[in-house]
Structure 1
C-alpha cells in the first residue's frame, strides 16, 4: 500500500486552523441562508456571498468539494470582490465583513444585530479558531491522528475541529488558555476528581439498580477520602473546574460553613498511585481506564450552543432506559451496546429543589483499555488533514490493502457495515421498540475490527425518548411527559441527528477522498432503509416513511442560533432553530 499523504505541516498552525475554522463556519452559513450563489471557475465551485444589498461587494469562497449534506471543503485564501477589484482577505476580515452585511439581520432569530452582539460573535468565532490553532501547536501526534488507527482515548482527545456545521465549533467560554490546557480533551488533559460529601438532609439522587446511587458512587471513592466522609453523608464526584466554580457561590459557601456540604478533597496526585480521569470529546464526560464507571457531571460552561448543565428530568432518563433495555430484542442488542446510566446524585438547595449545577451521573464503562478499537464517529469523519484525508477514508484504504481489493470496493464494504451494525439498530429501536436515541457523531462510538465497523457503543441517555408505539407496548410503565417524543418531534430530530449529522458525514468523507461517488453511497443508504421498511411492517413505520418520501428534512440552524446568543438547552420550543433542506435520499447529489 502506498504511503498516505501527510498533514500540511509546512503550513503554520494558524493557517491550518484558519482553514479548519473557515470550513465549519461556511458550512453552517451556506446551509442556513439563501443569500449566496454558485459560480464555476477552473472546475472548482465558488460560493459568492453578497456583502451589500446591491451586490457590488461580494465574498468569494472556493469550494474544493461539496457533499449532498452541504459539508464543503473550503480552500483558502478567501477573496473579497468589489466591482472588478479582487482582494485577498483573512478569515477574520471575512467574518467582520459578513457581520456588516444588511441581510444577516433579516433572519428571524437574530433581529437587530447591534455592535455588542457583533463583537461577541466575532470574538467567539476567532476564539474557536485560536483554540484549534493552540491544539494543533501542542500536539506531537498530528500525523497519527489523521492516519490512524486510533484507540478509544486517542480518538476522544483527538477531535480538534469539532462540529462540521458551526461558526465557533471549539468555543470554550469561560475557560482561559491555562484552564483549556488543564481541562480540555484536545490538549490531552488528565486530572483528578474532586470529591464532596453531602449531608443526608441535602442529598438528592436515584438508582435503577439494587444498590442506591450513594452506594454506587461510594464504590469509586478512594480509600483515603472515604476516611474523611462522615457517617450518613453521600460521596459526590465532581470535575475540578466545576468544584472550584461552585465554591465561589455564596450559597454553597454557607452550606459548607454549616457543615451540610464538605469538600473531601482531590484524588491522590501521586504519579505511582493516582487514578487519572480524562475528559472525552464532550468535555464534561470523564473516563478512567481503571474505573468501572465513567462520570458525567454538570459543567457550568457554555460550549457551542448550550450551557453544559445536567437537568433533573434528563438524569431520570438513564434510569428508565436501564430498566427497559433487557426487554429490547436480543437481535438489536447483539451488536448495539447502550452505555447505561443507572445512577445520579447531587444536592438540594434551601427551597428543597435540586441544584442542577451539582449533578453527576454514572455511565457504564464498557471500554477498559485506552487502546480499545472503539472510535467516536466525529473523529473518524474529522477533516483534519488535506482533502480526502480522514480516519474513515484511510481506514477504507487499509481495508483495501488487507482484502486485496479496490479502494472503491473497500469504501462500499465499510459503509455497508456501518449501515448494518450502527444505523440499522438505531432505526429498528424506533420502529420496533418505540425507543428513540438521538445519536449524533459524538454519541456514536464505533467498534472496529479488521478495519470495518462491527458494532457500536452508544452513550448519552439524556438524548432519548419514547414514542406512542412504546407506550402502547408498555401501557403500565410510567413515562414523564418530557421523555415522550411525538411524531413531529421524531421526524424533525431523528433524521437530523442520525442521518444528516452522522450517516451523511460518513458518505461525505468517503466521497471527498475520491473513493466512491456520494450518489452511489446515498443510493445504498436508501436501499438499506427500504429493506428495513419491508422488514418492519408490523412496527411503527412513521420514521421510515418520512425518510423515504418527504421532499425535505430538517436541520439545526447552528449559525443563526449562535449569532442570536440562544441557549439551545433551555428553549421551550427547539423547533424554532430548525430549517428545511432538500431530502438527499430523494434528490440527486452533486457530483464530486
Structure 2
C-alpha cells in the first residue's frame, strides 16, 4: 500500500474515532505504554489504539495500529475495514438512543463505510498530487490555501466524499489545482429571478464585450454556470425545451479562467471584485450543493442586513464578505428543483487589488505530510529570533482573538447577528506572521436573534430569524467548538505551549474584553458540538443532532 493511502486511512480512522468519542461521551484511557483503551458496549471489550497526541478538546492523534481486546483472549489486530465496522457498531447504539426507532443498522453501516472509503480514496489522490506552488504574490498565496485542504473537517466521518464528477474530478477538484472557464446562459427577462442588495459588478467586462451585439439576446440577463453543471443541465429535457423556445440561450464558455475554492462550488477570478457561489448537482460530503430559493433569500437578507449594520461596527481588523445578491431562473417558470440548479449567489471579493493575502483558516490548520500546519510557520515568523516560547504563542493567540472571536461576540451581543464562522468560512491575513485581518464569509449560514435585532429592515418571516438561544448556540458551535477549538489544538500540539494553558489565555482575553456574551461563554460548563457521525449514520444531515461537550474556557477556571 502506498504512503498516500496510508496517510488517508490514518486520517479517516482519526476522524471516525474522535467523532465517536465526542458524540458518545465515551472516555479514552491512556495505558502508559503509548497506547489508549476505549471501552466498548460488550462487557470487557475495548478498542486499543496507538496514542500519539492527546488533546484537551478531542483533537487526538493516533498511529497506524489498532486492536480489539476481549476478555481472556490475545489482542486482535484490526484491518482498516474491521476498525470501521467495529466503531460503527458502537455508533449504532448511540444512534438508537438519539433517534429512537431507526432500523437497518447493518445497511446503514455498509453505506457509511462505502462513503468513508470514497473519502479515503479522494484524500489519497489529493495527497499524491503535488501541492500547488504559490509565487509569492498575494493572490497566489490565497489560491494555494483554498486548494490545499486535502483532509477536511476533523470531526466529520466523510470530509472528502464527493460523488458526481466521476472521471472529470481532476478538471474540477480544487485539491488538484483545477481552474476552468465558466459557461454562460442568457435568460429571457420574463424568466429571471434576481435580487441585488449591495453594489458591485456581477459580470466581468470581457464577458459583456464577448456577447455585445449577439443577435437574439437583447435584454436578456447573463448567468454564469459551472462547466460541469452546464453539461448536466443541457442533458435535462426541460432545459432542452427552454433553449428551443428561446427562454434560455447557451452561450458556451466565456471570460478568464476561474479557480474553485475549498468549497468546490464557489469560484474566484482573482482579478475580479466578485466571486460566484454556484450550484453543483454533485454530492459533496452529505448534500447535493444547489441554491434553493430559501438559501437565496437567506444569503440576500444577510447581505442586506450587513450593508445596514457594518458601518456602525468598530472592530479593527474584522470584516464580512457579504453577498451582494443572486440571479437565477424563476421557479414559477421552471419549478423549484431546476431553479435551484441554475441560481447563482454573488459575493464580494475585495482582494482583487492584491493588497491583502487572506488564507482560509481551515487550510492553515491542516497538518502537512511530514510537517506542521502552515499556521505554525506564521507563528514562527512572528517570533523571529526570539523563538516560539509558550508566552509568544499566548500573545499570538490574543492578537487572533481580538480580530476574530471578540468581534463576533460583540456583533451578536449588540445586533443579534450570528455568523457561521467555522474555519472554512474564515480568512486570515498575517503581517510578519502576526494576525492582522480576519474575514468571515458565506452569508447563507447566518442566523439572527429576533430578540436582539433593532432598527433594521428585515421581514418578519425572514429565514434568518431564530430564537435567541438557537442563534447563540449556532455561534458557539461555529466560532468556538469548531473554530477556536481547532486553532488551540493545533497551537498546543505543534508548539511548546500547553493546550490547557492556551485555553486559559483565551479565557483571560474574554474576561478582559468583558461584555454579556463573553461572560456567558466563559461561565457555561458546556459547549454545543454537531454530531456529524451519528447524524450521518441516521441520515439526518439536514437536521443534525447536537451534543454537549465540556467547555475548556470554563474547565480551566476550576
Q: Would you call these one fold, judging by a TM-score over 0.5?
A: yes
**For residue 193 of structure 2, what is the aligned residue in structure 1?**
204
Aligned to 1:72: 60
Q: Trace 1:341-356 onto structure 2 (pairs within 5 A).
A: 341-349=323-331, 355-356=339-340
1:328 matches 2:333: no
Matches within 5 A, 1:2-401: 12-35=3-26, 37-42=28-33, 44=34, 46-50=36-40, 53-56=42-45, 58-83=46-71, 84-100=73-89, 103=93, 106-109=96-99, 111-140=102-131, 151-176=141-166, 178-209=167-198, 216-217=202-203, 219=205, 221-228=207-214, 230-267=217-254, 275-324=256-305, 325=307, 327-328=309-310, 332-349=314-331, 355-368=339-352, 372-386=356-370, 389-400=372-383
Q: Which residue of 2 aligns with 1:427?
A: 409
Q: What is the TM-score normalised by the length of structure 1?
A: 0.86
Structure 1's 76 and 224: CA in aligned 2 closer, same or farther, altered over 3 A?
A: same
Q: Is the counterpart of residue 508 in structure 1 residue 482 in structure 2? A: no
Paired residue secondary structure (2:124): helix
SS of alignment partner, residue 216 of structure 1: coil
Structure 2 contact 226–278 (Cα < 8 Å) conserved: yes
Asked if structure 2 preserves the Cα contact closer than 8 Å seen for 1:152 and 1:374, the reply is yes
Q: Take 1:65 and 1:503, find their aligned partners in 2: how far apart are those partners?
A: 18
- Counterpart residue number, 1:272: none
1:405-443 Cα shifts (integer Å, max 9, x gaps): 443233122211110112211111111232221210001
User: In structure 2, do the counterparts of structure 1 residues 493 and 333 end up closer, same or farther at CA, with 3 Å as the change threshold?
Assistant: same
- Secondary structure of the corresponding residue to residue 243 of structure 1: helix
Deviates more, 1:308-317 or 1:25-34: 308-317
User: Do structure 1's residue 547 and structure 2's residue 521 form an aligned pair?
Assistant: yes
Q: Answer yes or no: is the 8 Å Cα contact 1:17–1:129 preserved in 2.
A: yes
Partner of 1:526: 507
Give the C-alpha shift of residue 332 in structure 1.
2.9
- Residue 449 in 1 paired to residue 431 in 2? yes
Distance in 1 between the 2:461 and 2:213 partners?
39
Q: Note if 1:464 corresponds to 2:457.
A: no
Query: Residue 373 and residue 493 in structure 1: after superposition, are their counterparts in 2 closer, same or farther (change >3 A)?
Result: same
Whether the aligned pair in 2 keeps the contact of 1:195 and 1:237 (CA below 8 Å) is yes
Residues 206, 333 of structure 1: alpha-carbon distance in 2 compared, 3 angstrom cutoff: farther
Q: Distance in 2 between matches of 1:567 and 1:68?
A: 27
Whether the 8 Å contact between 1:183 and 1:279 is mirrored in structure 2 is yes
Compute the RMSD of aligned alpha carbons.
2.9
In structure 2, the CA distance between the partners of 1:150 and 1:200, relative to structure 1 (3 Å rule), is closer
Task: State how far apart, in whole Å, the 1-side matches of 2:557 and 2:264 are.
Answer: 35
Query: Contact 1:225 / 1:267 at 8 angstroms: preserved in 2?
Result: no
Q: Is the 8 A contact 1:305 1:561 kept in 2?
A: no
Equivalent in the alignment of 2:397: 415
Per-residue Cα deviation, 1:304-338 (whole angstroms, up to 9, x for no partner): 23332223233234444444435435553542222
In 2, are the aligned partners of 1:396 and 1:407 still within 8 Å (CA)?
no
Distance verdict in 2 for CA 1:220–1:414, change over 3 Å: farther
Structure 2: unaligned runs, 5 residues or longer:
none
User: Would you say the 8 A contact 2:56–2:489 is kept in 1?
Assistant: yes
Q: What's 2:535 paired with?
A: 561
Return the offset for 1:366: 1.6
On the 8 A contact 1:23/1:74 being kept in 2, the answer is: yes
TM superposition shift of 1:12: 1.1
Post-superposition CA distance 1:473-492 (Å, at most 9, x none): 43x55353311132221232
**Of 196-205 and 370-379, the range deviating more from structure 2:** 370-379
Q: Which string of whole-angstrom CA distances, capped at 9 and with x for unpartnered residues, describes residues 560-580 of structure 1?
A: 111122342xx4xx5xx1111
Structure 1 residues 45 and 396, CA gap change in structure 2 (3 angstroms):
farther
**Counterparts of 1:194 and 1:237, CA distance in 2:** 6
Cα distance in 2 for residues equivalent to 1:472 and 1:371: 35
SS in structure 2 at match of 1:472: coil
Q: Aligned pair in 2 of structure 1 residues 218, 448: CA closer, same or farther (>3 Å)?
A: closer
How far apart are the structure 1 equivalents of 2:444 and 2:233?
A: 23
Q: Hey, what's the Cα distance between the residues in 1 that align with 2:472 and 2:417?
A: 14
Contact 1:280 / 1:286 at 8 angstroms: preserved in 2? yes
Q: Kindly state the Cα deviation for residue 457 of structure 1 after the two structures are TM-superposed.
A: 2.2
CA-to-partner distance for each residue in 1:25-47, whole Å, 9 max, x for gaps?
222111111455423232x3514
Go from structure 1 to structure 2 and tell me whether the alpha carbon gap of 1:503 and 1:289 turns closer, same or farther (over 3 Å shift). same
Aligned-partner Cα distance in 1 for 2:184–2:139: 35
The C-alpha deviation readout for 1:185-227, integer Å capped at 9, x for no partner, is 111111110101111121100112468xxx8347573532444
User: How many correspondences in the alignment?
Assistant: 549
